A = this chain, B = another copy of it.
Amino acid sequence: MTITQLKYALAIAEHKNFTKAAEKCFVTQPTLSTQIQKLEDELDIIIFDRGKKPIELTDVGRKIVFQARNIVNEADRIQDIVDQQKGFIGGEFRLGIIPTVMPTLLPMFLNNFIKKYPKVKLKIEELTTEEIITRISDGHLDAAIASTPLESDNIKERVLYYEPFVAYIPNSHRLRDKKTIEVSDLDIEDMLLLEDGHCFRDGVINLCKSFKNQTDDHFQLESGSIETLIKLSNEGMGMTLLPYLHTLDVQEKLNTNLRHFKEPSPAREVSIIYHKSELKMQIIDAMYDVISGIIRGAIAFQNVEIISPISK
A residues apposed to B, CB below 8 Å: 1-3, 43-45, 59-60, 63-64, 67-68, 70-71, 74-75, 77-79, 81-82, 85-86
Contacts and interface: CB of A to CB of B under 8 A. Distances in A.
A45 B3 CA distance: 20
Contacts of A43: 78-79, 82
Given A45-B85, A60-B82, A71-B75, 6 more contacts: A1-B75, A2-B2, A45-B82, A60-B85, A70-B74, A74-B74
B60 A81 contact: yes
Contacts of A45: 82, 85-86
21 contacts: A1-B78, A2-B2, A2-B3, A3-B3, A43-B78, A43-B79, A45-B82, A45-B85, A45-B86, A59-B85, A60-B81, A60-B82, A63-B85, A64-B78, A64-B82, A67-B77, A67-B78, A67-B81, A71-B75, A71-B78, A74-B74
User: Interface residues of A: mostly helix, strand, loop or mixed?
Assistant: helix
A43 B3 CA distance: 16
Contacts of A3: 1-3
B78 A68 contact: yes
Contacts of A44: 82
Nearest to A58: B85
Contacts of A67: 74, 77-78, 81
Contacts of A64: 78, 81-82
A108 to B, nearest CB: 35
A2 B82 CA distance: 16
A77 to B, nearest CB: 6
